[in-house]
Amino acid sequence: MSSKNLLIIGYVWPEPKSSAAGSRMMELIALFNDQGYHITFASAAQLSEHMADLDDYNVDCTNIALNCSSFDIFVKELGPEIVIYDRFMMEEQFGWRVEQQCPTALTILDTEDLHTLRYARHDAYKNDREINQHDLNSDMAKREIAAIYRCDLTLMISKTEIELLTTQFKVPPQLLHHIPFMLDIDKLNEPRPEYSARIDFISIGNFRHAPNWDAVRYLKESIWPLIRKKLPKARLNVYGAYPPPKATQLHNEKQGFLVKGWCDDAHAEIKKARVLLAPLRFGAGIKGKLADAMINGTPNVTTSIGSESMHENLPWSGDINDDPEQFAEHAIALYQDNDRWLDYVNKGDDIIRTLYDKNSLSGALTNRVNDLIVNLQSHRLNNFTGSMLKHHHHKSTKYMSQWIEAKNKD
């Protein structure tokens, strides 16, 4: 068997057409495929109708069970050189087993976004107040940051999250690696419809993701009526996977608020629209919908949360405002102004070329991984906190898992 085996333990099966997290996972798969790794994707999740066909990417798929020693046999036979945990919950569940069976495997945690920050912001939002220390120092933070320490490297999609971890929680920078979306910048050279050829507004996002569902409600209740008052013929096409009945009930032809749900080709729909609206009021990470908008030459109106960590010191590819009335005014003005619209398209192109070039980003991550493989022993010696957490967590998790397995056999 190849000495370059990579195991990805997935929280869910990747759905690149449903979520930014799914697209992100496929970017990582492509990167390690290019490096000659034989990739196995394993998950205890149920198969889904929108999951990627991993056979097309030469990825082996394996169903694994929680709290079951069958995983020990599987991972030992596979003998991966690298194990990637898709979100911290997978490290909690399987980390001790990997440590026991494959102690020399490089372990990488892909946070997708920092759950600690997303849930803290959500709690603050629900209580109508600013985020505070109590929100951040949650049980989830203790779990997620402990997993970061236990892994050899954690992939962070947002520099804001890195700053939070290193300053607020004192996580050593050498345990973290910034890797945003890895995009094909050649797509910027493909033909894109001009301002005059586009029509309508668009909103897009997986409805199972709480910030997206909140944004749709916010649009319906507070923002879209203001836009529609000034632009009575305008329409808003709302796309997203897994729309619940409470979302589809918002569909209203007379109001031009069109809940269309699942979209087989998000890029095609975004490319048709004149302006993308993303009024996100909480959340973390960076936003796939806004990256998709830029790559397709579609300016946006979003919030400070939406644009966070997406453009560094470069001018943004649209307007940013957290007030619903001003948000609506920006959307109306942008929709009607060809010159402003084109300026934002060009700014989006600059952002993509500068910050999201997959060639430079993948090269930096590959170098980091290869260096860690060579220097793994010294890297771990310099992470005493991680070793300590492994010792205590893995023993407690091991005995709990074995108890659950024995109980299930009764």
Mean pLDDT of 180-197: 96
For residue 153, the surrounding DSSP H or E stretch is strand 153-156
The torsion region of residue 182 among left (phi > 0), alpha (psi -120 to 50) and beta comes to beta
Per-residue pLDDT, 1: 41
User: What is the residue extent of each domain of the chain?
Assistant: 5-182+358-409, 185-355
Same fold for the domain at 5-182+358-409 and the one at 185-355? yes
For residue 80, CA distances in Å to 2, 8, 85, 89 come to: 9, 10, 13, 20
* pLDDT of residue 2 exceeding 50: no
Among the four given CATH numbers 3.30.830.10, 3.40.50.2000, 3.40.50.1380, 3.40.50.720, the one describing domain 185-355 = 3.40.50.2000
* pLDDT of residue 65 exceeding 70: yes
Please tell me which residue, 323 or 396, carries the higher pLDDT value. Answer: 323
Three-state DSSP class for residue 311? coil
Cβ pair 171, 279 in contact under 8 A:
no
Per-residue pLDDT, 391: 85
For residue range 146-177, list pLDDT tens digits in order. 999 999 999 999 999 999 999 999 999 999 99
Look at the domain 5-182+358-409 and name its fold: Rossmann fold (3.40.50)
pLDDT band at 392 (very low <50, low <70, confident <90, very high): confident
Q: pTM of whole model > 0.85?
A: yes
For residue range 346-355, list pLDDT tens digits in order. 999 999 999 9
| Structure tokens that stand for 84 in this block | 């990637």
Q: At what angle do helices 338-355 and 324-336 cross, to 10 degrees?
A: 100
For residue range 255-275, list pLDDT tens digits in order. 999 999 999 999 999 999 999
Q: At what angle do helices 288-295 and 20-34 cross, to 10 degrees?
A: 70
Mean of pLDDT over the chain:
95
- Residue 230 CB burial class (10 angstroms; 0-12, 13-18, ≥19): middle
For residue 321, CA distances in Å to 111, 223, 305 come to: 27, 12, 10
